[in-house]
Structure 1
Amino acid sequence: MSFRLRAAGVFALLIGFFLMGIALLAAMAALDWVLAAHREDGQGSAYKGAFMVMTVLAAAGILRGMYAFLRAGRLGTPDGVAVTQQDEPELWAEVRAVADGLGERPPQELYLTFDVNASVAEQSRLLGLLPGRRRLTVGVPLLVGLDRAELRSVLAHEFGHYTNGDTRLGAAALRGRAAMVHTVRIFSRDLVWFDRVVGAIYLGYARMYLRRSFALSREQELAADRVAAGLAGGAATAAALRAVPVLDAAHTYYLETYATMGAPLRALPPAGELYGGFRRMAAARPGERLAALAEGRRPKPPHTYDTHPPVAERLARLEALPAPDAAPATAEPGPAAVLLRDPERVLAALEPPVPADVPRLSWDDLVLARAAHDAEDFSRPLRRAVARMRRTGPDAELPGLEEVLDAFDEGLLWAGISDRMPRPESAARLAGPSARNYLRPAVFDALAGMVQLRLLAAGQAVPHIAWAGTPGIGLPGAWEKGLDAALDAATSDTPDTKPLRALLAEPAPAPASA
C-alpha cells in the first residue's frame, strides 16, 4: 500500500505541475489586467509596460514547459535493430515463456542493441490509465556474457515492471521530469528578475518532484527484483546482478581499447568486427579474467537522483526474501548466446553507418597502424628538440634514430636537448638532477618509439591483438630481452648508446611469433 501511495503522490505532483502553471498564468493575467486598467503617465507608465513585458516572457516560459510535456510520450526508436519471431524464434520463445510465467502480455516489439542493458516500455494512453503497445529492448552483450538462467532473471525483472504497472505510469513520470527540467532551463537563461522569481518557484517544485520520482524508481527496481526472484530464482537473479557490472566494465574496456583503436587514424575494424570483436574478447576472458576488468572501477556513491539502488542493497534484499512456495522456472543450461541464430550477423547489423572513405583494416593491420601512430607521437618531441639544436628553420627535417644517438654521444642530451623538450609550467623551473629525473621517462619513451618505428618499417614487429590481454606488437627476441636495458643506458645521466647501437647492428632477426 505504501508503494501505491507513493506512486499516487508522484502522479499528484505531476498534476500539480500543471495546476501551478495555470495558477501562475491566471495570477499574471489578472495582474496585467489591473495594471492595464490603471492609467498612469510618464515614468510610471514606462515601468508598468516593462513589467507587463516581463509577465509575458514568464508566461511564454510556462507554456513552453507545458507543451514540452504534452508533445512527448510517443515511443522513440531505439538505437538498435528490430527482430521478429521469424528472425530470432528461440529468443522470442524465451520472452514468451517469461511472459506466460508471469501472466503478462508479451511485447509486440523486440529490439536488440549493443548496450549492457535491458528495458521495457509501453505506449500507454490517458497518462497510463489505459495499456498500450509494449516494447522490449535487450542488449546483445547480455546475451554474450550471461547464461540462460541469468538472462531469464533479467527478462523477468523487466516484465516485473509490466506486472507492477511501472511502464504505464513511467512514461508520464519521465515526461514530467523532462518538462520540469526544460522549464527550469528556460527561466535560468533569462536575466529579468521577475522571470528568475518564477524560475525559482519551478526549481523548488522540480527538486521535490525529482526526489519523489527517483525514490519511486528505486522502489520499482526492488519490486521488479522480487518478481524476477519469484520466477527465475533468487540464485539466478543474484548471479545476474553480479554479472551485469562485470559485463559493463568489459563493454567499456572493449570500446576504449579495441573498437576505437583506429580512431586517431580515422580507421575502423573490418565490417562486422566493430562490435563483433566483443564476443572474441569475452570468450578469451572467462570468469575471473573478465571480472578483473571491473576491479579498478569504484562503485558510484548513492545519490538522491539515482534510478537504481546500489547492487549491494539489491543483493541484500534478495537474500532476505523468504523461501518461495514453488520451485522457480528453470531455464535450459548453457550460454544465453545460443538463443541467437547468428550472433555475428546481429552484431554486424548493429554497427552504425560508416562513410565510404573510412578505411576498414584487419585487426592485425589496425594494431600495426596504431603502434606506428603512437610511436610517432612519442618520438616527435625528442626529434624536434634535436632538430632545434642542429638545424635552423621551421621546415627542417626531423632527425632519424642514428642522428639522435649521435647527439647523445656528443653529450647534448642533458646539455641542450632536454631544455628544448616540452614540459608543463609546474616543472619549468626544475634544473640539474630534478630536471633529468623529470624528463627521463619522456626521453625513454621517445627513444623507444623511434626503435619501434625502425622495426615496424623493417617488418620486424608482429601484431598481437591479444584478446585476453592488451593489444600491441611483438619485437624480435633479442630486442625483447635487451631493449629496456639499452634504453636505460642511453638515457642515463652519462648516456651510453653502445648497447642500443649493438642491437641495431645485429642481423635482422625473426620477429616474435604472434
Structure 2
Amino acid sequence: MTTTLRAALSAVLLAGFYVVALGLIVGMGALTVWAFQSDAEAAAAKLGFFTAAVAVGLVVALWQVARARPAPDRGPALTPADAPELWETVRELAAAADTRAPDDIRLLPDVNAAVSEDTRLLGLVGGTRHLYLGVPLLQTLDVGQLRSVLAHELGHYSRSHTRLGPLTYRGKQAIIATLQQLSGNIVGWFLRQYARLFFVVSAAVNRRQELEADQLSVRIAGRATAQSALREIPVADAAWSFYLSSYLEDAWESGYAPTAQGFFGGFGHLVAARTTELAQMRDDAPPAEQSRWDSHPSIAARVAAMEAMPDVDVPRDTRPASSLIPGFDAVATDLAAAAVDVDGRTQLDWEELTATSLAASRQRTADVVYRAAARVAGQQRANLGTVLDVVAGGGRGRLEEDLGIVAEEGEGDPLADVMELLVSQAAVQAGVARWQHSWSGPAALAGRDGRPINLTPVVAAALRPDTIESARAHLAELGVDVTSTGQVADTATAHGGEVLGGLASVKVDGTKHDVLVLDLGMILVPTPKRDENGKARMFGLLQSGSVLQLASYHRFLAYEEIATAKITKRTPLHAELTLHDGRTLTLKETWTGESLAKDSSLRLLEQLLAYEPDTEAVRA
C-alpha cells in the first residue's frame, strides 16, 4: 500500500471515529425512543440519561479542542541576516528537493529537528512553513551530518507529508479528549478500540514517510554521511540526557540553575570533554527497538534501509554544525533565557553551581543517616560525633539495621560508603573542603589549596571501635569539629524521588487516598469516595507539579519513618505500619481502585517488605 493511500486511510479512519461516535449516540437515542414506546419507562429514562451524558461528553471534548490554541513558538527565529550560511544551505537543499524552502527557522532547546506547515482546506492549500532545529543537536553534528538532517526534513515537504499534519494533530487531540470524557462506560470502551486502530494505522503511515524522507537524505548527503547522522542522533540524545540528569537534576531540585549562558554552554563543554565515551557509543549497534505505536522506524531499520538506496559521492563537511550560525553561543544564550523557566532558582556559574548543589544534595542523604543515628543513640539530633560514638559503643549493627544496610559477601565493608559520605560532608560543612566541578568526570573533593583531599584513612579509622579516637584526631587536624558538623534537617523530603507507581482509592486509616509510590516514600492524597477515574486522577496529579511540590502540598511518608511493617495481605495489599515516633498507619488497597501502572501494588509491597520482620507469615 502506498504512503498516499495509507495517509488517505488514516484520514478516513479519523473521520470514521466521529461517524461511529455519532452513530452510537443516534442508535442509543433510537433505542431510548423505542423503550418509551414499549412502556419500559424506567429503562428508557436510564438509557436516555446515559445517551445525553455521552452526547454532552462528545460535545465538550470537541469544544475543548476547538478552543485550544497552538503553543507559542519557542526560542528565537533566525533571519537570513542572523544566519546567512544556514539559510543559504537550506535554500540550496530545498531546490535540490524540488520544494519550497521554509519561511522561518527557529531553535529548540532539545535534541530534535522537525518541520511543520500551516495548511488550509484540509491540507489542499499550503501555508507558512516552519523549520525547527535543536541547539543540542547543532552542538553534536558536523555540517555534513546537518545537511543530511535538513535534507530529510525538507523531504517531508517535497513528499507533501506536512499537508495533513495540522488536521491529524487536531484529530488526535480530539480523539484523546473524547476518550477522556467518555472513560468508564461501554461507549468509551468501544471508541477506545477504534482509536487503537487509528493510531496503529497513523503510526505506520508516519514510519513509511520517514523512510521516504531518508531517500532524499541519502541522495543529497551520500549514504555514509546520512547513516552517520542517523547514528549520531541517539548518541546526542544520550549525551543530553546524561547532562540533564548528572549535572542539572540535583541542582534544579536544590533550588539552583546554571546561568542562561551556561545552560547550553555546559553541554558544549561536556561534549568536548567526553570525546572518548561518545566515540565508544558510536561504535555500538544502533538502537533496534520498535513497536507498532512508534511514529519512527528504529535507527537500525533506517540505517539498514539506506543500504538499498542509490548512493552518491559527496565530500563531507566536518566543520561543527554550529559554525553555520554566527555568534552561536549568544544565540543559544538567548534561547535559554527565553525557553528555560528557572522558576525563581538561584542562577550560578558552573563551578559555584556544582559546589553548592552537590553539598546540598549530599547533606540531604547524610541527614538520613544522622536521623537514624539519633534514634539509635536515643537523641533528638545527631552530629558526626554521635555516629562515631555509636560505632565505638557497639551500636553499629543497629545503625546498619535502621538504614537497611545488608552486608554482601565479597563487597567490602557495608558501612564504608556511608561513612565516606558523612566525613566528606563534614569537611565541606567545616569549610576545609569543597567540591570541584569537572566536565570529564565526577566532581572531586579538594582542600582549601585546591588540591585533592584524601579522606580514606579517616573513613577507615571511623569504621572500627578501636580506631575511632584516631579518626577523631585526624578530623581535628583537618579542622573538622565533629560536634558542630552533622544533621541539618529534622524530617525527610522527597528530593530526588522517582515515581514507581500509584494506587487509587487506598484506605489510609480508613479514609480513601490516592497513593503515589516513590522510591523514597509515599505521597498520600485525599480523594473522593467514588473510585472512578483513579488512574486519570493520578496522572493529573503528576502533571500538576513536580514530585517535590506534590510532597509539600500533601502528606509525605518517607520509608525511613517506618520502624516495622506488618503485611497482612498481599492481594489486594493490606499493611499495618508502625512509625519510629510510635504512630501507626494502616493501608488497605481496594479491589475497585485503579493503578497508575500494572505493577504499582507489587512495587509498594517490595518497599514495605524491607520492614517486615517475618515475611513467611504473609498470606495470599
Deviation at 1:29, TM superposition (A): 4.0
CA gap of 1:57–1:234, structure 2 versus 1, over 3 A, is: same
Q: 2:147 & 2:23 partners in 1: Cα distance?
A: 49
CA gap of 1:349–1:261, structure 2 versus 1, over 3 A, is: farther
Q: Write out per-residue CA displacement over residues 206-247 of structure 1, whole angstroms, 9 at most, x where no aligned residue.
A: 111111110111111111111111112111110100101000
CA gap of 1:358–1:378, structure 2 versus 1, over 3 A, is: closer
Q: Write out per-residue CA displacement over residues 182-229 of structure 1, whole angstroms, 9 at most, x where no aligned residue.
A: 22222214xxxxxx3322331221111111110111111111111111
Matched residue, 2:331:
346
Matched residue, 2:383:
399
Q: Is 1:367 paired with 2:354?
A: yes
CA gap of 1:418–1:310, structure 2 versus 1, over 3 A, is: closer
Asked if structure 2 preserves the Cα contact closer than 8 Å seen for 1:367 and 1:473, the reply is no
- Higher mean alpha-carbon deviation, 340-349 vs 75-84, is at 75-84
Q: Write out per-residue CA displacement over residues 1-29 of structure 1, whole angstroms, 9 at most, x where no aligned residue.
A: 62222222222222322332343343344
Asked if structure 2 preserves the Cα contact closer than 8 Å seen for 1:261 and 1:366, the reply is no
Matched residue, 1:232:
221
Matched residue, 1:18:
18
Within 5 Å, give how 1:86-97 maps onto structure 2.
86-97=81-92
Deviation at 1:177, TM superposition (A): 2.4
- Which letter does structure 1 place at the counterpart of 2:139? V
SS of 1:272's equivalent?
Answer: helix
Task: Choose from 47, 54, 62 the match for 2:50.
Answer: 54
Deviation at 1:382, TM superposition (A): 3.9
Task: Choose from 243, 257, 261 the match for 1:272.
Answer: 261
Asked if structure 1 preserves the Cα contact closer than 8 Å seen for 2:288 and 2:301, the reply is no
Which stretches in structure 1 are left out of the alignment for 5+ residues?
190-195, 510-514
Matched residue, 2:8:
8
Asked if structure 1 preserves the Cα contact closer than 8 Å seen for 2:32 and 2:45, the reply is no
CA gap of 1:383–1:49, structure 2 versus 1, over 3 A, is: closer
Deviation at 1:111, TM superposition (A): 1.1
Matched residue, 1:151:
146
Q: 2:437 & 2:108 partners in 1: Cα distance?
A: 25
Deviation at 1:404, TM superposition (A): 3.6
Deviation at 1:381, TM superposition (A): 3.9
Q: Is 1:497 paired with 2:465?
A: no
Within 5 Å, give how 1:427-438 maps onto structure 2.
none
Asked if structure 2 preserves the Cα contact closer than 8 Å seen for 1:380 and 1:446, the reply is no
Query: What is the aligned residue count?
Result: 478
Within 5 Å, give how 1:126-141 maps onto structure 2.
126-141=121-136
Q: 1:407 & 1:297 partners in 2: Cα distance?
A: 51
SS of 1:77's equivalent?
Answer: coil
Asked if structure 2 preserves the Cα contact closer than 8 Å seen for 1:375 and 1:452, the reply is no
SS of 1:157's equivalent?
Answer: helix
Deviation at 1:103, TM superposition (A): 1.8
Matched residue, 1:336:
321
**Greater C-alpha Rg:** 1
- Which letter does structure 1 place at the counterpart of 2:309? L
Asked if structure 2 preserves the Cα contact closer than 8 Å seen for 1:146 and 1:335, the reply is yes
Matched residue, 1:317:
305
Q: Write out per-residue CA displacement over residues 351-391 of structure 1, whole angstroms, 9 at most, x where no aligned residue.
A: 24656853222222222223322442343344334444555
SS of 2:55's equivalent?
Answer: helix
Q: 1:295 & 1:408 partners in 2: Cα distance?
A: 48
Asked if structure 1 preserves the Cα contact closer than 8 Å seen for 2:219 and 2:311, the reply is no
CA gap of 1:167–1:476, structure 2 versus 1, over 3 A, is: same
CA gap of 1:319–1:389, structure 2 versus 1, over 3 A, is: closer
Matched residue, 2:616:
none
- Between the aligned residues of both structures, percent identity stands at 32
Q: 1:491 & 1:159 partners in 2: Cα distance?
A: 64
Task: Choose from 421, 436, 449 the match for 1:449.
Answer: 421
Matched residue, 1:104:
99
Matched residue, 2:112:
117
CA gap of 1:238–1:39, structure 2 versus 1, over 3 A, is: closer
Task: Choose from 288, 296, 300 the match for 1:308.
Answer: 296
Asked if structure 2 preserves the Cα contact closer than 8 Å seen for 1:372 and 1:452, the reply is no
Asked if structure 1 preserves the Cα contact closer than 8 Å seen for 2:257 and 2:342, the reply is no
Deviation at 1:299, TM superposition (A): 4.4
Deviation at 1:94, TM superposition (A): 2.0
- Which letter does structure 2 place at the counterpart of 1:114? P
Q: Which has the higher helix share?
A: 1
Q: 1:200 & 1:246 partners in 2: Cα distance?
A: 40
Matched residue, 1:512:
none
CA gap of 1:499–1:478, structure 2 versus 1, over 3 A, is: farther
Q: 2:265 & 2:330 partners in 1: Cα distance?
A: 9
CA gap of 1:500–1:477, structure 2 versus 1, over 3 A, is: farther
CA gap of 1:298–1:400, structure 2 versus 1, over 3 A, is: farther
Q: Write out per-residue CA displacement over residues 62-105 of structure 1, whole angstroms, 9 at most, x where no aligned residue.
A: 33455566556x75433332222223222222222221221211
Within 5 Å, give how 1:144-183 maps onto structure 2.
144-183=139-178
CA gap of 1:478–1:223, structure 2 versus 1, over 3 A, is: closer
Q: 2:223 & 2:447 partners in 1: Cα distance?
A: 50
Q: Write out per-residue CA displacement over residues 237-278 of structure 1, whole angstroms, 9 at most, x where no aligned residue.
A: 101001010000010111112233422420112332123211
Q: Is 1:247 paired with 2:236?
A: yes
Q: 2:12 & 2:343 partners in 1: Cα distance?
A: 52
Deviation at 1:480, TM superposition (A): 6.3
Matched residue, 1:184:
179
SS of 2:323's equivalent?
Answer: helix
- Which letter does structure 2 place at the counterpart of 1:48? A
Matched residue, 2:459:
487
- Which letter does structure 1 place at the counterpart of 2:304? A
Q: Write out per-residue CA displacement over residues 273-299 of structure 1, whole angstroms, 9 at most, x where no aligned residue.
A: 12321111112222x322457899994
Q: Write out per-residue CA displacement over residues 152-176 of structure 1, whole angstroms, 9 at most, x where no aligned residue.
A: 1101101111111110023222232
Which has the bigger relative contact order, CA under 8 A and spacing at least 6?
1
SS of 2:235's equivalent?
Answer: helix
Asked if structure 1 preserves the Cα contact closer than 8 Å seen for 2:28 and 2:47, the reply is no
TM-score by length of 1: 0.82
Which stretches in structure 2 are left out of the alignment for 5+ residues?
481-620
Q: 1:310 & 1:118 partners in 2: Cα distance?
A: 16
Matched residue, 2:403:
422
Task: Choose from 210, 213, 231 the match for 2:202.
Answer: 213
Matched residue, 1:192:
none
Asked if structure 2 preserves the Cα contact closer than 8 Å seen for 1:110 and 1:137, the reply is yes
TM-score by length of 2: 0.69
Matched residue, 1:142:
137
Q: 1:274 & 1:206 partners in 2: Cα distance?
A: 40
Asked if structure 2 preserves the Cα contact closer than 8 Å seen for 1:486 and 1:497, the reply is no
Q: 2:390 & 2:67 partners in 1: Cα distance?
A: 70
Q: Write out per-residue CA displacement over residues 439-465 of structure 1, whole angstroms, 9 at most, x where no aligned residue.
A: 953x43332233223432454434432
Q: 1:108 & 1:152 partners in 2: Cα distance?
A: 18
SS of 1:467's equivalent?
Answer: coil
